[in-house]
Chains A and B, each alone.
Chain A
Amino acid sequence: MTNRFLLIASAILLTAIGLTWWLQSRQVQPVAITPSLTDQIEYCLTCHADLTEISPSHPVETYGCVLCHGGERLALDANLAHSSMRGGNNQSDLSVVEQSCGGSNCHSGESAEGQDHIQRVMTSIQSTYAGAIANVRYTYGAQTDLTPLFGSVAVNDTSLPSQTGILHLEAFAISSENNQFLQTFGENCLTCHLNSTGVEDSLSTRFTGCSACHSPAGESRAGEIHTLTTAMPYTQCNTCHNRGNYDLRTMTFVERSDEAVTRLESYYQPIGQFTQCEYSLDCVDCHTRTEAMGDGDIHANQKDIEYVQCKTCHGTLTELPLTMTLTDPEDIAFRLAQLNPLMDLQVGDTILVTEQGEPLWNTRLLPDGNYELIGKATKQLFIFRPVMGSACTQDGLEQSSAYCHECHAVEH
């Protein structure tokens, strides 16, 4: 009797062992890389081999995946591998950005080297939303002046000295507000800053943190966005800007409802006047890095940080626009130009520069006194002349864009 059992049990064991061998052979073959910056082997590419390289300046052979994203580098089980990833699917979220994109060799180094992006972004007005919050609280009597006290998240100014004197912001919290309008404001209106992903399933959804701008969505909004670029098209800025208007009485945001056909129509809401520059170029062609990412101080109003004007590129009747001739091959203008190769910038070229010394590296002074500019995202070439010596009848003291619009806006 036992002999029969013995036979059957042996057969069962052989089947079980054969099964384990078969399962082992079906296991996915691990794909390893050893990035040169970490010298630690990673197996992320076993499943993610078809992911596009994120940018030419972050090649996967050098950085790998784990250095930026975190995660378990040896795990071949998806749940375990992703469980310790920083910031979920976005490691540039400002709560974890220092560990992901920071470090003195990367993007939170010395301001003199131009490497302090993270410190600047965290206090920038696009992140804190401090001006809007202060304005609304002042309007409803929750504070006695426009000094910003609250931001989208709590933040400290760590790059002293501060020219604004504002060293700290508390996190705005609906529960700490007594005024019903301010509470509604907190519920409806705090979706346009770098710590928010926007309204879900609308055209305003974006990543938080650095990727809010630097990882623009492609043609389709579905699927993974694995890109880092400095050539952001206006559509990415429009995930916050030009979306519609706030109605302070009902404390709601009214999305724009116009049907856009041309680029101008899709760019801006049909409420303003715009020159050809303002809709042919992308936002990043004029608005500088300091304007977008901040200067390290906590500001009360966007007007404190925006300074680029028409005359920055075009000059006035009496002054040519500011330029600088590139003599140092280590100049940051060359590094910026290399990130987005549009024009072959050489030592000895003269480029436009802003009033604060920021190089407009996608421009160049031509031998005939005109200037050329290549759109960073559109790659379109523009040749333009300075105001000086032209038929422009401007009053030299009036340099606001509304003044220039009187003649140059597209409706005229």
Chain B
Amino acid sequence: MRPNFFQHIHPPTIPAEQTRWRYTLGAGGTAIFLILVLAVSGALEMFYYIPSTGEAALSVQTISFLVPFGGLVRNLHFWAAQLLLIVSAVHLIRVVFTGSYALQRRFNYLLGLALFILVILLDFTGYVLRWDTGIQWALIVGTNLVKTIPWIGNSLYKALVGGAYPGSATLVRFYSWHVFGLMLLAAILMIWHVFRVRRDGGIAVPPPKQRDDIVRISRKELVRVEVVAMLLSGSALLLLSAYFPAPIAPGITEITALSGAASAPWFFIWVQQMLKWGDPFFWGVLVPLIVLTILGLIPFIFPKPASQDLGRWFPPSNRLAQIALVVIALVITALTLVELRPVQ
């Protein structure tokens, strides 16, 4: 019998090491599950959401308050999205801290980084679709940051916003990006990323001769582990969605100056803090791009982990890479906390 795609990425047996929670934290798999939740809840929302400036916020309120289980679907979508960002970051940290980006896995690491960027963009575009007073920072500041890019800034802004300033064309474009453009790219990259995991020899563990743990589990066992993970994540998501509603605010009636309480979405608060320091292009565009570049260069510029060090956390051979990531993570966290500190 010829194997199908599912059987291809679930081989007949795999080393048990690859399925241990304490090793992988299940981060990658949870990310895939969250994307599935996002796809289904997002598709359901598409039955009621209206991407028009006059109706968008009202349609979001209709979903949240009037449609049976609409609030649940919206909250699921919101929490799955925020958890996906966190889980993707955990996955990235895990990959670096276990040295699983080296050698043949280098390309997949870059694919994963591209996916991470897409997830951030999806989160951002989805956030703007609310079209209420809460998203105005993202809309005005975010699009104006694009304008600061030299040479291509203005053309890029026009392509993104569809006009001289954010309006109905912007909403339609962000909707198209969110629901189709970015999703298509993310779907392709995700399938490629998962395929590459298998092609690169599965989740990184030491080669068979250097392995301490030689236990293997069957495909059935692997699927059961995955199902348990999905059930637990699903239940956690349901409970979160039942008790903590997604943020909502009155609709935007005209795009005017930001209110004093304007704030970036939580994953950009570190950028909002940096923007207080000076030139918007440098602090708002260049610095985040530099951070991204450093992350992308980790497999290239830092010493690679030795093959017997694979399969465990904090191998000594790629200490520098780990330290670099810790520094980046700490700085971003610190910037976020400083920005959130109440005004004295």
Binding site for B on A (CB under 8 A): 2-3, 5-6, 9-10, 12-13, 15-17, 19-20, 23-24, 30, 43, 72, 74-77, 80, 83-84
Contact = CB atoms under 8 A, between A and B. Distances in A.
Contacts of B68: 24
Interface in B200-233: 221, 224-225, 227-228, 231-232
- Majority SS at the chain B contact face: helix
Interface in B53-112: 58, 61-62, 64-66, 68-69, 72
B225 A2 contact: yes
28 contacts: A2-B221, A2-B225, A6-B224, A6-B231, A9-B231, A9-B232, A12-B235, A13-B234, A13-B238, A15-B235, A16-B239, A19-B242, A20-B69, A30-B65, A43-B66, A72-B250, A74-B61, A74-B62, A74-B66, A75-B61, A75-B64, A75-B65, A76-B66, A77-B64, A77-B65, A80-B248, A80-B249, A84-B250
B228 A9 contact: yes
Contacts of B58: 74
Given A13-B231, A80-B250, A30 B66 contact: yes
B250 A9 contact: no
Contacts of B234: 13, 16
Nearest to B236: A16
B255 to A, nearest CB: 16
A74 B65 contact: yes
Nearest to A76: B65
A19 B239 contact: yes
Nearest to B68: A24
Interface of B: 58, 61-62, 64-66, 68-69, 72, 221, 224-225, 227-228, 231-232, 234-235, 238-239, 241-242, 245, 248-251
Nearest to A40: B58
Contacts, number: 72
A20 B235 contact: no
A83 B66 CA distance: 18
A20 B76 CA distance: 12
Given A13-B235, A24-B69, A2 B228 contact: yes
A16 B249 contact: no
Contacts of B251: 72
A24 B72 contact: yes
B65 A17 contact: no
Contacts of B69: 20, 24
A386 B68 CA distance: 71
B249 A10 contact: no
A23 B244 CA distance: 13
Contacts of A10: 231
B65 A9 contact: no
Contacts of A80: 61, 248-250
Contacts of A16: 234-235, 238-239, 242
B250 to A, nearest CB: 4
A295 B13 CA distance: 92
Nearest to A4: B228
B83 to A, nearest CB: 15
Contacts of A84: 250
Given A20-B241, A75-B64, 4 more contacts: A3-B224, A6-B227, A9-B235, A74-B58
Contacts of B227: 6, 9
Contacts of A23: 242
A391 B286 CA distance: 97
A236 B228 CA distance: 69
Contact of A17 (B62, B238, B248, B250): B238
Nearest to A80: B248
Contacts of A6: 224, 227-228, 231
A152 to B, nearest CB: 26
Contacts of A5: 224, 228
B148 to A, nearest CB: 32
Which among A3, A9, A30 has the highest number of chain B CB atoms within 10 Å? A9
A397 to B, nearest CB: 61
A46 to B, nearest CB: 9
Given A12-B235, A24-B72, A83-B249, A72 B61 contact: yes
Nearest to B231: A9
A18 to B, nearest CB: 10
Nearest to A41: B66
A7 to B, nearest CB: 10
Nearest to A82: B250
8 nearest interchain CB pairs? A9-B231, A76-B65, A16-B238, A84-B250, A16-B235, A74-B61, A2-B224, A12-B235
A20 B72 CA distance: 8
